[in-house]
Structure formats: structure tokens, C-alpha cells
Structure 1
Amino acid sequence: MNPRTAAKAERYDALAREHGVAILTGMLGWKKICKLTGLPQRSARTLLSWILDRGLPELNVTPDTAQAAHRGDGIARESVRLAAQGARHAARDLNASAEPDASAPADASAPDADTDAAPREWIYAKEYVYNATDDKYVTFLKVAGGQVVVSGDEHRAMKRAYSNWDGRPASINEICRDFGMPRAYLMEYKQRHGWTHDSEPFTDEELLTRGPDELVEEALQMRRRALFHDYEKAKWAETQSKAERYDRLEQTLMLPIVRHLEALTPTYAVPRVALRAPERPFAVVVTPTDLHYGKYGWADEVGRRYDRQTARDYLISTAQALLAEVALRGAPDRFILCMGSDWFHIDAYRAQTTSGTPQDVDGTAAQILWEGCELAATYVDLLRQVAPVELRVVPGNHDKVFSVSVLLYLRAWFREAQDVTVHLGNRQRQHVVYGRSLLSFTHGQGQQEKPRELGKVIAHEAAREWGSTDFRYVFTGHLHHVFISEEGGLTYLRSPALSGNDRYHEEHGYTTSRAQQAAYVIDAERGLVSVLMAAPD
């Protein structure tokens, strides 16, 4: 380059440094450049071309950015403005550090100037510019062909999401989806800012302006939020799994039963036996608990065979014997019937209890459920020959879902019957008042095996009924043998079971209880006056 050309280039470089920012951010044409610089028209045109072709190298403003700014691109103009602002601040800080105040006394113990200085309002880096006043990050992306402006809140949120500090870093696709940034932009953006999964979850600007204690507390909060998020995710997965299991149950078992009911809507009439009027009004509580329909016990292994047919025979024969005893007292006001309570032996398609314990069974799950519901309806028909029936169902530990099925079955089957009342409800404990007596029903597992604890629960759940009655009884099952106790104003009556033994009972020696069905005569004024028992032939 000859001296004349070099001098000319040096002149235009100086003019570009002095007026380039104003020309680009103000989108000045050559006429206004003439007025600004005092140059003739030809020189003004040359200066404008010089700036657009070369950019502003001392400010890291590329030719593409310069051209975009001059065309009116807002992002490019903001980038040029912030670059100029950063350069001015840098020059000011350099002068301040080079020329200390001579009037200030020397003090070797004075704190470091960087420590006490007010936080900068800007951060200027080679790859991006941060404006603290507007809280914006301006980053040049080659893939975008210019500058990209991101708000401080969004920039910091992306940094936290990408960091592995809380143990669950977001993927590139997740961040693109959540923040609406194209994948190609984000790939270059994180590279420009030096982000990795191992990075701390704070920006360089935060590390410069915020205290350590504040950052530590926020990091701990992030860990807590991540832990809660993982807990909720696991909880939702468990809920979804249960919903899928219920859906399979509905499709494979419950819907076929509904179709069966629709095809076999009862049109029969049950005859009522003519009985004399009783000396005193009474009701009969019947709890055929723990039938375990579908259980299987091989005679050579458990001593006496138990299967579906055996369960049916036991139930019907003992019910007929009890009805004969009741008939001797005259016509009762009604039967208060509690079903469910391990009426079924299993609760799942794979021959398991509600909690997943495998069982020895006689028949498939669909067969057991189907026939068990029909057997329940037959049992109710036996009772209604003598008196109206008031029916409740409580879940057992073997059949929490199947017990709901039999409840819905009986409600649909007897929906037109005037002498059968089916109470909808799936609570563990259910309560009814007859005369001066409070009658409560529950299966009896867990804490409900303890009369003292159960009395507290019933007094709380049925406080009004407890206070308005003189006699309180609770009827349970579960342990398959008779037990009667009185504790704190509550009489605890554990009913026997009709169920036979299987391998589990044989192996553990639970074989001493006799298969029986019980009925309890409740006088309207005197409470429990008689307990009736019937054993299979």
C-alpha cells in the first residue's frame, strides 16, 4: 500500500471510529453524514461504504451486523449501541485505575477497590454483550446471521435448566420446546456462553453481583424443587399404573358382567313366607363374612375339600337353617345384611389378593367374579322370602375391587325390587341405627382387630348416632373365628367364617375354627338379645 492510500485508509478508520456508531444506529444517509462530519458528498459516500464493508472492528461489529443496523434491524442496532457503551465504560474504568486520586491518603489496610465498587451495569465479552440496565443479553449467532437478544430472566432460566446442579438437567430438545428457541440457535447459543451440564446454575453476571450466601440458598432450593418434582413424577407413575390395572379389570371382567346383567334382567317375583307377628319388633343382622368364594383346598392336602361348589353348599344350607330359627320368633322388621368382607378369595386377573399375594383358586378370575355375584343375588333372594333386606357391602383385605363389583351387581339386579335396599358406598366402616342400637360393620383387619381402638374411631365417625343410642355393636370378620368383647361402651362381635382351609391355613395351623354362619337378633328396645349359629351339614 502506497503512503497516499495508507493515509486515506487511516483517515477513514478515524472517521469510522468517531462517527460509525451514530451513522449505524441513526441509519444516516450520505447527506446527513456530510452534515455530521463536514465531508463533501463524495467523501461522505466513501465513508458510508467504508463502514458497511468493514464494520467497526474495534467494537467487534461485523460487516453483516453493520449492514443490518443501517437497514433498520432492531437487534443489530441494539448490538452496536451496547458495544459502544461497553467500550466507553471500559475506557472509563481504565482511566480510573491508571489515575488514582492523589489527594487520598495512602492506607495499606484499605479494602480492594474491586470489592467495594458498585456492580457494573454492563458486561462486555467477545461472544456476547449484557446490558444490566435493560437486563438483556445480545449474542451474535452465525446460524441466525446476526445478533439474538434474550431477556435476562429467560437466559438465566435456560442456564438453570441446562445445568446438572439439581441432578436432572434438561435436554436440548426440552429447552427448545420450553423456551421456543430453534435447536440450531440453542446449540450455538450455549457454546457462545460456555454452558455445559457440569456448569454451575448461575450466569457469570450473577456470580459477579450476588453474594455467596444468596447463591448457596438458591442452589439448595433448586435441589429441593428437583426432589419434590421427582417425588410427584413417581407418584403420578404409580397412579397411572393403578389406572391401567383398573382399566384392564373393567375391560376383561366388569364390562362382561354388565352385559350379562343387561341380558338377564330379573322378571321373577320372590314369594313371601307368611309368618306370625312377633311379640316385640326386631331386626336380624346377617354377616356371611369371609366366604372366600373361589378358594381351593385339596382334601388330601388340607383334610377337607373346599371349592366353589362347597362354598355355595355351605352358604345356602346354613342360610336356610338360620331362616328356620328366625321364623320361630315371627316376622322380623327387616334383615340388615352386610356382604363383601372377603366374599371373594381374589381381587385380580392373576389370582391374587388386593395386595398381590398369590392364592390357590378354583376357576378363573372372571368365572369366580361372575358366579360370586350370582350367588350373592341368590342369597339375598333367600332372605327376602322372610323379610325386606337392607344391604351394605364393606371391602375385605382380599377383594377391595371385587367387592365394588358385587355391590354394583346387586344394585343393578335389585333396582326394581321394592323389598331390597342397596346402599351405595365403599367405606371401610359403615353404620346404621335400628331402634335404640347403633350397628357398625367392618372387615376387621389391622387396627380394626382391637376393640378399644375401633371404639374410638366409631365414636368419632358416627358421633351423632353414638350419642342418640343406648347400645352400640360392631360386627367384624377376618380371623375366621368367634370372639365377643365389650370395651368402652362398644360390644365387639367377630363372626365365624364359612370358608374352608387351603394350603396357607394348613401350613400355619389355622385349622381349629369350625365353618359357621351367624345371625344376630336385635330387639328394637333391648338391643342384642340372641346370637344364632348354623354349621354346614
Structure 2
Amino acid sequence: MAARKHDDDTIIAALTGRTVTAAAEILGLHPRRVAAHKARLARKGWSPEHDMTKTVPDGFHLKGTSTLYKDGAPVVQWVKTSIDHERQAELIREACQAMSEDLPQVEPRMACNSYLSHLLAAYPIGDAHIGMRAWGEETQGSDWDLAIAERVQCGAMAALVDMAPACEQALIINCGDWFHADNMEGTTSRSGHILDVDGRYAKMIRVGVKVMRQCIESALMKHARVRVCNVIGNHDDTGAIWLSIALSHIYANEPRVTIDTSPAPFMYHEHGKVLIGMHHGHSCKPDRLPGVMATDQAQAWGRTEFRYWYIGHVHHQSVKEYSGVTVESFNTLTAKDAYSAWGGYRAQQNMKCIIHHAEFGEVGRHTVNPNMLKGEVAA
């Protein structure tokens, strides 16, 4: 009997009022396969023999049902659900893939410089929080909004590229929380914290994509090849995913640009004897990261001598050397919001470019801060 694919509605229709064997004949499936479908549907809330006839939406788990009976007949039923985060992320990736297929694509350009093949320029971008709003009088700091974020982030990247040597490779690392909010409500998806946001979600998306494209374009002016890694943060669980997918379509025809579309929480880049790990820092403590790298990248660990973890999340700079790995967190260019101000957080604002030699590891770095960029205008 040839196996055929059926959606849930078709399977439910075949099973309604029939035995598994009878439904199997209608569907053209083996009875064991239909029984497996029936068990799966029960976990989604459909089990007529238990008066359960409503399936939960795709992207949710069934937690349980409560039914009110009167004279032995069901009168009212409550279906309790919880979010299936893995499935929702999968659905978002599928939607982004479909929506991005018709995006305009950048035409390939010839590299026009002589490059230093032994050097890699890494551009770790600490939590950009594009879309965040801050009122300087309240936060005892600087004002911040979408326009300022665009000017400062684009200006910082352009300045750092100008300072960097003509490395053959560039690695742009969005260390997570590129976007300040991940939904229309302006809250964090994990904890539901209410955020100070500037304008509409759609406007935040427009500026966020524009800024990252400008960072890539700046890097292409100096480097032969550019790889972009958008690490998933706690403020943009889904935003990081669709940003990578959208950029991968925009640069599909540009062989000099590689967009990493992996939804994994840990990313890696190998350059000669250098191994760089990338993680936001919200789900794994720094002291556990060396073990994660050694396990995930066992062969690369053996090939390399200089190993680094670059993380964000904490908004302040810290460097700690563990056995075989150095873990570094980075500042952000973004001003303090009200939450940070009230919490007493007072980290510096800056962004860095770190130069790695294929044989000797880190050999130099450059730093810019927002005060150096006053008067800069984003292209």
C-alpha cells in the first residue's frame, strides 16, 4: 500500500465515526500509521471518545482540557495550551523564507584591493537594541531613538572599517539583541517585560535591516569576503532568524558575502589557528562556554591554538581567560534606557574591531565611541 501525505483535517474527517482500520482504507495508509496519527492528534486535543474535539493551533502544546457536563452531556469545554517555542521558530523560519524570496537582490561587485590573506577583521557588535527609546533627562545619559541608532551604528562601523587593515576576511558579529523588541506589543517574548520603544514595529524593522546592510556595505569597501552572524538574543528570538533569512536573499547573488542562517544559539568561525565562538550570553554562563566549544568543535579545537568566545547581553566589557579559551563580553553603542538607569547599570558605550592573525591570534584592535561620531550621517 503506497503511503500518502494527508493534513490533519483529512485524517480527522476519515477517523470521525470510523475505526482505525476503516480510516486506513480511506486514507490509503497502514493501520499502524493511522493509529500513530490518532495518538498525535490526541496530544493536540482531538480525541472524540473523551469529548475532545478541538485541536490546538500549530505552534502550541496541549496542557489539558476541562469539561463541564450537565446530565451526562458536555456543555462547556476549556482547552489549556502552552507555546511550543521550537515549532513556532520553525514556522517563523518558513514564513520568512517564503516572504524573502521576492526581495530585491544586490548585484555582485568585483573586489578592487590587494588583501592580507593572513588577517581577519572581526567586528563584534554589542547589543544594538535598535528600536529602543531613551530620554536623557530621565536616564542621566544621552537621548536615544531610531534616528540616533542609525547614525551612530552606521558611523561606528564605517569608522572601524576605515581604521582596519585590508584583511581578506571580515566577520560581522551581531552579538544578539539587534532589535529591542520582538513583537507588536513592545515586550520581550520570554518574560513579557514592557519595553521603551521608538515608533512602530515595522519602522524598527526598516531601520534595523538598513543599518545591517550599511554595515555589510562598509565592510565590502575594505575586505574581500564578509561573513555575517546574527546571534539570537533574548530580546529578538525571532528577529535574528528572519533578519538572517532576509539578508541571505538580498545577497544571494553576491559571492563575497556569506550570511549564516543557522538558528543555533552557538556559532563558530575558524581562521588558521584561530577559533571564534559567538553566543549572546543569556542562556549559558561564561564558565561553561569553554566546554561547549570543546564539545561542539572538537576537531577545530585540535587544529587551533587561539580560541575566543565573543558574547553580549551584559552591556559591559569583561575579559576572562579560561583553560584554552578567552571569553569576552562587549559594550554597546546604545544609550541606557530607563530599566538600565534605574538598575544602576553604567557601562561605557563603544564598538571594537579586532584583528586576528592566522598564526598568532589577536594582534590588534580599534575602538570607537559615540562622541567620536557626532555629525556623522548614515549613508
User: Do these two structures clear the TM 0.5 threshold for a shared fold by scoring above it?
Assistant: yes
Paired with 2:347 and 2:209, the residues of 1 have a C-alpha distance of 26
Is 1:520 aligned to residue 354 of structure 2? yes
Q: How does 1:103-502 map to 2 (within 5 A)?
A: 174=49, 237-239=81-83, 258=99, 262=102, 265-267=104-106, 272=111, 274=113, 277-278=115-116, 281-302=118-139, 303-326=141-164, 329=165, 331-339=166-174, 341-355=176-190, 356-387=192-223, 388-448=225-285, 450=286, 452-502=287-337
8 A Cα contact 1:270 1:381, kept in partner: no
How big is the shift at 1:369? 1.9
Question: 1:177–1:487: structure 2 CA closer, same or farther, 3 Å change rule?
Answer: closer
Paired with 2:52 and 2:158, the residues of 1 have a C-alpha distance of 70
How big is the shift at 1:370? 2.9
8 A Cα contact 1:520 1:528, kept in partner: yes
Percent of pairs identical after alignment? 22
How big is the shift at 1:447? 3.3
Paired with 2:161 and 2:246, the residues of 1 have a C-alpha distance of 24
Paired with 2:51 and 2:204, the residues of 1 have a C-alpha distance of 53
Paired with 1:393 and 1:272, the residues of 2 have a C-alpha distance of 24
Deviations 1:335-382 (A, max 9, x none): 012226000001112101121211000011122123212221221111
- Where is the strand percentage greater, Structure 1 or Structure 2? 2
Question: 1:489–1:266: structure 2 CA closer, same or farther, 3 Å change rule?
Answer: same
Q: TM-score, normalised by structure 2?
A: 0.72
How big is the shift at 1:504? 0.5
8 A Cα contact 1:496 1:517, kept in partner: yes
Secondary structure of the structure 2 residue equivalent to 1:333:
strand
- Where is the helix percentage greater, Structure 1 or Structure 2? 1
Corresponding residue of 1:196: none
Corresponding residue of 1:146: none
8 A Cα contact 1:270 1:384, kept in partner: no
Paired with 2:305 and 2:156, the residues of 1 have a C-alpha distance of 31
8 A Cα contact 2:331 2:349, kept in partner: yes
Corresponding residue of 2:30: none
How big is the shift at 1:477? 1.1
Is 1:505 aligned to residue 369 of structure 2? no
Paired with 1:522 and 1:340, the residues of 2 have a C-alpha distance of 18
8 A Cα contact 2:62 2:81, kept in partner: no
Deviations 1:489-518 (A, max 9, x none): 1011212211111111111111x2221111
Q: TM-score, normalised by structure 1?
A: 0.51
Q: State the AA in 2 paired with 1:357.
A: H
Paired with 2:217 and 2:211, the residues of 1 have a C-alpha distance of 10
Corresponding residue of 1:119: none
How big is the shift at 1:440? 0.6
Question: 1:273–1:353: structure 2 CA closer, same or farther, 3 Å change rule?
Answer: farther
How big is the shift at 1:299? 2.2
Corresponding residue of 2:10: none
Paired with 2:240 and 2:52, the residues of 1 have a C-alpha distance of 46
8 A Cα contact 2:115 2:168, kept in partner: no
| Higher RCO (CA < 8 A, seq sep 6+) | 2
Deviations 1:441-489 (A, max 9, x none): 01112433x2x32111211111111111111111111111111111111
Q: State the AA in 2 paired with 1:258.
A: M
8 A Cα contact 1:352 1:359, kept in partner: yes
8 A Cα contact 2:160 2:367, kept in partner: yes
How big is the shift at 1:177? 10
Q: State the AA in 2 paired with 1:362.
A: D
Question: 1:300–1:528: structure 2 CA closer, same or farther, 3 Å change rule?
Answer: same
8 A Cα contact 1:341 1:393, kept in partner: yes
Question: 1:359–1:233: structure 2 CA closer, same or farther, 3 Å change rule?
Answer: same
How big is the shift at 1:420? 0.3
How big is the shift at 1:233? 6.7
- Structure 1 ranges of 4+ moved more than 6 A: 175-178, 232-236, 240-247
Question: 1:473–1:299: structure 2 CA closer, same or farther, 3 Å change rule?
Answer: same
Question: 1:463–1:506: structure 2 CA closer, same or farther, 3 Å change rule?
Answer: same
Paired with 2:64 and 2:51, the residues of 1 have a C-alpha distance of 24
The root-mean-square deviation of aligned C-alpha atoms, in Å, is 3.3
